[in-house]
Amino acid sequence: MINQLIQLDQHWFSTINQGLANPVFDVLMPILRNRLTWVPLYLVATYFAIKKFGRVGGFMLLFGILCFALADYTSATILKPWLARLRPCNTPGLSVRTLVDCGTGFSFPSSHASNHFALAVFFVVLFGRHFKGAIAGPLLWAFSIAFAQVYVGVHFPIDVISGAGIGTLIGLLMGYIFKHFFQLNYGNLEGNSTI
């Protein structure tokens, strides 16, 4: 069963990494997975949170950082060393198009996927009912980063699916804790920027 799953995972990997190869993705995917690409988005989100929600926005950012840190610690520090799965680009006998530095760390689960899905789901929980695009936008952002990890050759599909699942659970947990705490103490988030 495990061997069949690994073979299927490697087949999916080859389909994405080689079968979908094209000049546009070859340029775009390394950019999408680069953490510096998203700095402007983080700055805009920070500005929006503080401007719209005041002090609550500051706590929102703090919870977002904690959410990201918890996802990263769970995937990178706890699970990766314990499971010790090699990255595709370090797997002997596997044909891989590597578009970025392979790195020396392990592959399962993908920290990029867990971190970004944690943040995306956290913001979906907070804003999904209040703003158009607050569900599709963050999830598309996280999915594009996870997909890029496979395309550039540094993660298997099961790595990013598992990372996305871990991040989703952490994002849900942190989002509902935040909403519960601030609803108990400050009322509804919407329009409550003077707290």
- Across the chain, which has 195 residues, the per-10-residue mean pLDDT values are 87 95 96 89 85 86 94 95 92 91 89 95 85 80 95 96 97 93 55 43
* Measured CA distances, 48 to 170, 188, 193 (Å): 23, 17, 11
pTM of the model: 0.88
- CATH number, domain 2-186: 1.10.606.20
Can you give the pLDDT at residue 128? 77
pLDDT of residue 49: 82
Length of the chain: 195
Q: Is 153 left (phi over 0), alpha (psi -120 to 50) or beta?
A: left
**Confidence at residue 183, expressed as pLDDT on a 0 to 100 scale:** 67
C-alpha span between 133 and 180 (Å, rounded)? 23
Contacts (Cβ under 8 Å, ≥6 apart) of 106: 80, 81, 83, 84, 85, 86, 87
- Alpha helix locations (H) across 73-186? 80-83, 111-127, 136-151, 157-186
Q: What is the pLDDT of residue 1?
A: 75
Rounded Cα distance between 14 and 10, Å, is 6
